[in-house]
Amino acid sequence: MTDLDVERLLSELTLEEKVALTTGATAWTSVAVERLDIPSITVTDGPHGVRLATPSEGFDLTAAEPATCFPTAATLGSAWDLELLERVGEALGVESRAHGVAVLLGPGANIKRHPLCGRNFEYFSEDPVLSGELAAAFIRGVQSQGVGTSLKHYAVNNQETDRMRVSAQVDERTLREIYLHSFERAVKGGKPYTVMCSYNRINGTYAAEDHWLLTEVLREEWGFDGLVVSDWGAARNRPRSIAAGLDWAMPASPATNDDVLAAVRDGSLSEADLDTAVRRVLQMVARTWAAANDRPEVDDDAHHALAREAAAAGTVLLKNDGDLLPLDAQALRGAVVVGEFARTPRFQGAGSSLVNATRLDDALTALREAAGTELPFAPGFSVEGPGGRDGDDDALRAEAVELARGAGTVLLFLGLPAVDESESYDRPRLGLPENQVRLLEAIAEVNEDVVVVLANGSAVSMPWAARARAIVEAWLGGQAGGSAVADVLTGAVEPGGRLTETIPLRLEDAPAFGNFPGEAHEVRYGEGLLVGYRWYDARAIDVAFPFGHGLGYTTFSYGDVSAEVRGSGAEVEVDVRVTVTNTGSRAGSEVVQVYVADPVASVQRPERELRAFAKVHLEPGASHEVSFTLSGRDLAFWHPILHRWVVEGGVFEILVGASSRDLRTSAVVEVEGEEIVLPLSPESSLAEFLNHPVAGPLVEPFLEHSPVPLDDPQLSFFILESQAQTLATFGIPGFDRQTLADLLAEVERRSAG
């Protein structure tokens, strides 16, 4: 179907057929036009597994064909490994084809603005560079198989509370530098076949009806050439959405076809705009139909093994006092296992990404297999679910304490219950359930060698961290997560993960505290640019564990970083090189992180911002030179007056290290910036006139006759900050309103010439 003659078909479609094609045939399929041999394609939820609904027209999130449940984005992102993300994407592409799926609805590139967002497990990071690069790698992997992706949820969808109508009130710089930046990198680096717009409003306008968002930014600025699909039910006014740039309203909404027909017939929606949407639907069908009907065989064992590799790669070793981990054979055989999650895995989030796994590994079985013996086990706590808690927590805790007393290492599996993390609502708390915290405290009283293994989709507070010698953040590891955890604990595999989000000490420390989830259908993004680590660093707030942090079973040293500048202005590039050495006795991996600081700028800038990263695998004693090239965009900020990216000249600091707060080496570079000339108006200050290359010389003669002495520091400051239109009424000889108007006209003439 790649030879589908889109333009011919478009010319032969009736108006009614065109309108029908801009919505679905069912909840998950496109409309077929049999008389023109236009087939239907199937799309389905992702992004960490193929959730092909059964029956295909239904919305039962628990009924789906079996598929590999890979780790969620919280885990995959923590690997900081683009090659791994591509391989997982390839596997998902193969499984999509095997199920006849043309478009997999993912990945999610939304920023983790607040730790209580119920859907954080589906998103990669609090940082737009990391989120965008990971999403792009995932997209490339899936689409290498001819299956489309749907980058979501575009844009500024950072909470589940009131998500259908809440208006995200966010300033332009923050939009561009944080929330749109993640999507821009994914679009340009991954070239997704489709982008899914979100439910919410942005500064009062629904995303599905926002021409600036869907057409001006996405298509005209970023060069996106695919299809824009609504989130399911987000297209409230289809004529208005089509005019804005929304091509496909899902799910099937034939009842609103008459609205579109009427709008075309009365001229409020141009048929040209409708044709544009239909053309993109046909192009999507042409792009994906052949692959979706290829139906390859799936190697379930190989995909399970890949899921196991990915889960271990995304596991973050937060703490390891006295090198308690990894456990050798003797230590493992003397260990006991506590915690219901070891026996009953919490391995994925709830909602539309719920996957019917092909199989499921649990950590208890995997650890017993690794030990070659029946390790003692106690559930320790009950797990909250839809039906409430099942079990007597006091009795379960007492049993676990007796098991831990006198034992070797206690492997304590804790985490968030499934009911806490889901699409459609936000989390009720930052901490673990109280019954689990009491269990940890009781066990720590009788055994000091406690390893906490966490199962959760987003950050949890850890006031109990001092009671554990080691903390392993396993996130939601997918169907092979249990075996992956056993691999990490025993040292068969190194914990390869690094944090993609800051873990705060308290909820009250979070950047959006007080501005989440909003009220009266609005949420104010009052923290602005200071999202995640940018906030904690700017305010020098202590955190439990910083962005980028993660330990391994070996150590690394960094040599001096070198930074060389080439070019200037927007075209400037900075070549960065640093040598990393494995100084330990085991092979391992390090995530080398490059941050940029702009200490003197004309606008507020974060203390430092991640701009590049690389994962390096080294044998003991081995060294490797890692190189990066930073572009002008990596040094730029979005100018709030010029409404474009600007590279301001001056000194920049290049910092390299193992986390945002573990910076090992740095270099300072001098950059020649681009000429920045701000537009002038009657409201511009006198200082802005004087600093303007054209207006400055024209204004200076008038100041010689100023009635206010400009050598007086206080008075001169007042004059310099005053608006030109105000000064034109102050009685400066020869400088009146007409003079000001003539001056502005002359500046415009000379600037244009």
Q: Are residues 539 and 562 in the same domain?
A: no
Total residue length of the chain: 753
CATH number at residue 425: 3.40.50.1700
Same domain, 488 and 616: no
Q: Is residue 598 part of a domain?
A: yes
Is 107 part of a structural domain of the chain? Answer: yes
pLDDT at residue number 640: 95
Q: At 141, is the secondary structure helix, strand, or coil?
A: helix
Whether 341 maps to a domain, the answer reads yes
Coil, strand, or helix at residue 211?
Answer: helix
Does one domain contain both 539 and 565?
no
Q: 115 and 26, same structural domain?
A: yes
Amino acid identity of 429? R
Say whether pLDDT at 534 is over 90: yes
The answer to whether residue 679 is domain-embedded is: no
Residue 389 is predicted with a pLDDT of 60
Give the pLDDT score at 388: 52
Is the omega angle on the peptide bond into residue 620 within 30 degrees of 0, that is, cis? no
The C-alpha atoms of residue 148 and residue 299 are separated, in whole angstroms, by 21
The reply to whether 247 belongs to the active site is no
Report the C-alpha gap between 242 and 230 in whole angstroms.
Answer: 11
Tell me how many degrees the CA angle 43-28-207 measures, rounded to the nearest 5: 80
* Dihedral angle sign, alpha carbons of residues 141, 147, 148, 151: negative
666-702 b/e (C-beta count within 10 Å ≥ 16 → b): bbebebebbeeeeebeeebbbebbeebebbeeebeeb
Query: Where does a domain end: 522, 544, 566?
Result: 544
Overall average pLDDT of the 608-628 stretch: 98
Reading the block at residue 182, the tokens are 């993640």
pLDDT band at 361 (very low <50, low <70, confident <90, very high): very high
pLDDT at 63: 82
Return the pLDDT at 58: 64
Q: What is the DSSP letter of 420?
A: G
**Other CB atoms within 10 A of residue 26 CB:** 17
Torsion of CA 511, 516, 520, 524, to 10 degrees: 20
CA–CA dist 113, 458 (Å, integer): 11
Q: Is residue 566 part of a domain?
A: yes
Non-local (6+) Cβ contacts of 597 within 8 A are 607, 608, 609, 652, 653, 655
The torsion angles phi and psi of 151, rounded to 5 degrees, stand at: -65, 125
pTM for this structure?
0.97
Same domain, 332 and 479: yes
How many other CB atoms are found less than 10 A from the CB of residue 1? 17
In 3D space, the residue among 88, 251, 116, 111 whose CA is nearest the CA of residue 177 turns out to be 111
pLDDT for residue 735: 86
**How is residue 569 annotated by DSSP?**
G
Q: Among all chains, which residue has been given the structure tokens 């989120």? A: 131
- Give the model confidence (pLDDT) of 636-652 as tens digits: 999 999 999 999 999 99
Does the residue 300 lie in any domain?
no
Q: Are residues 562 and 610 in the same domain?
A: yes
Span 94-109, mean pLDDT? 98
DSSP 99: T
pLDDT tens column, 42-69: 999 989 999 998 766 667 777 899 999 9
Rounded distance between C-alpha atoms, residue 523 and residue 162, angstroms: 10
**What's the pLDDT at 733?**
78
The reply to whether 680 falls in a domain is: no
Task: Tell me: pLDDT of 691 over 60.
Answer: yes
Lowest mean pLDDT among 52-61, 316-325, 679-688: 52-61
- Choose the final residue of a domain: 523, 544, 565: 544
- Judgement on whether residues 337 and 398 belong to the same structural domain of the protein: yes
For residue range 381-397, list pLDDT tens digits in order: 999 765 456 679 999 99
pLDDT at 53: 86
- With a pLDDT cut of 90, the percent of the chain lying above it is 90
Lowest mean pLDDT across 20-29, 658-667, 744-753: 744-753
Q: What are residue 97's phi and psi, to 5 degrees?
A: -60, -40
The predicted model gives 566-590 an average pLDDT of: 97
Query: What's the mean per-residue pLDDT of the chain?
Result: 95
Sign, CA dihedral 127-128-134-138, equals: positive
| H or E element at residue 487 | helix 481-490
Mean pLDDT of 30-52: 96
Measured CA distances, 381 to 301, 391, 439 (Å): 33, 8, 7
Are 654 and 727 found together in one domain?
Answer: no
Q: Residue 125: what pLDDT? A: 98
Q: Angle at the Cα of 641 (from 640 to 645), degrees rounded to 5?
A: 60
Confidence of residue 168 (pLDDT cuts 50, 70, 90): very high
Residue 710 has pLDDT above 70, yes or no: no
Place of tokens 């965008």: 132
Based on the domain organization, do 615 and 699 belong to the same domain? no
Q: Please tell me the distance from the alpha carbon of residue 60 to that of residue 131, in angstroms, as a whole number.
A: 30
Q: Distance of CA 413 to CAs 383, 403, 440, Å?
A: 12, 14, 10
List the CATH number of the domain containing 205.
3.20.20.300
Which helix (H) or strand (E) is 371 found in, with range?
A: helix 363-371
Q: Are residues 648 and 726 in the same domain?
A: no
- Which of 81, 127, 162, 231 is the catalytic position? 231
Mark out the alpha helices in 293-344 (DSSP H runs).
300-313, 329-333, 340-343
CA dihedral 598, 600, 603, 605 (to 10 degrees): 30
Q: What are the tens digits of pLDDT across the range 208-258? A: 999 999 999 999 999 999 999 999 999 999 999 999 999 999 999 999 999
608: domain CATH number? 2.60.40.10
Inside any domain, residue 278 = yes
3-state secondary structure of 648: coil
φ/ψ of 110, rounded to 5, equals: -75, 150
Mean pLDDT of 563-570: 97
Tokens 């790698």 belong to which residue?
A: 137
CA-CA distance, 336 to 728, in Å (whole number)?
A: 83
Number of domains in the chain: 4
Domain finish residue from 515, 544, 573: 544
How is 221-234 classified by DSSP, letter by letter? Answer: IT---SEEEE-TT-
Asked whether 289 and 101 are in contact (CB, 8 A), the reply is no
Say if residue 407 is in the same domain as residue 478. yes
DSSP per residue over 503-542, as a string? Answer: EES-GGGSTTTTSSS-BTTEEE-TTTT--THHHHHHTT--
What are the beta bridge partners of residue 108?
Answer: 123, 152
**Helices and strands (DSSP H and E) totals, the chain:** 25, 27
> Is residue 734 very low, low, confident or very high in pLDDT (cuts 50, 70, 90)?
confident
Determine the structural domain holding residue 740 and report its residue range: 686-752
Would you call the peptide bond into 155 cis, given omega within 30 degrees of 0 as the criterion?
Answer: yes
Q: What is the pLDDT of residue 712?
A: 73
Please tell me the distance from the alpha carbon of residue 197 to that of residue 422, in angstroms, as a whole number: 19
Q: Distance of alpha carbon 421 from its chain centroid, rounded?
A: 17
My answer on whether omega of the bond before 304 falls inside 30° of 0, hence cis, is no
Would you state the pLDDT for residue 224? 98
Q: How many CA atoms lie within 13 A of 322 on its CB side?
A: 9
pLDDT at 1: 47
The pLDDT value given to residue 452? 99
Range of weakest confidence among 64-78, 97-111, 373-387: 373-387
- Would you list the DSSP string of 234-293? --SSHHHHHHHT--BB-S--GGGHHHHHHHHHHTSS-HHHHHHHHHHHHHHHHHHHHHHT
Reading the block at residue 329, the tokens are: 């054979």
Which range (54-58, 311-315, 372-376) has the least confidence? 54-58
Reply yes or no on whether the pLDDT at 112 is more than 70: yes
* pLDDT one-digit tens code per residue, 142-166: 999 999 999 999 999 999 999 999 9
> Inter-axis angle of helices 434-446 and 393-404, to 10 degrees?
30
Range from 54-68, 289-303, 588-602 carrying the lowest mean pLDDT: 54-68
Domain match, 466 and 372 both: yes
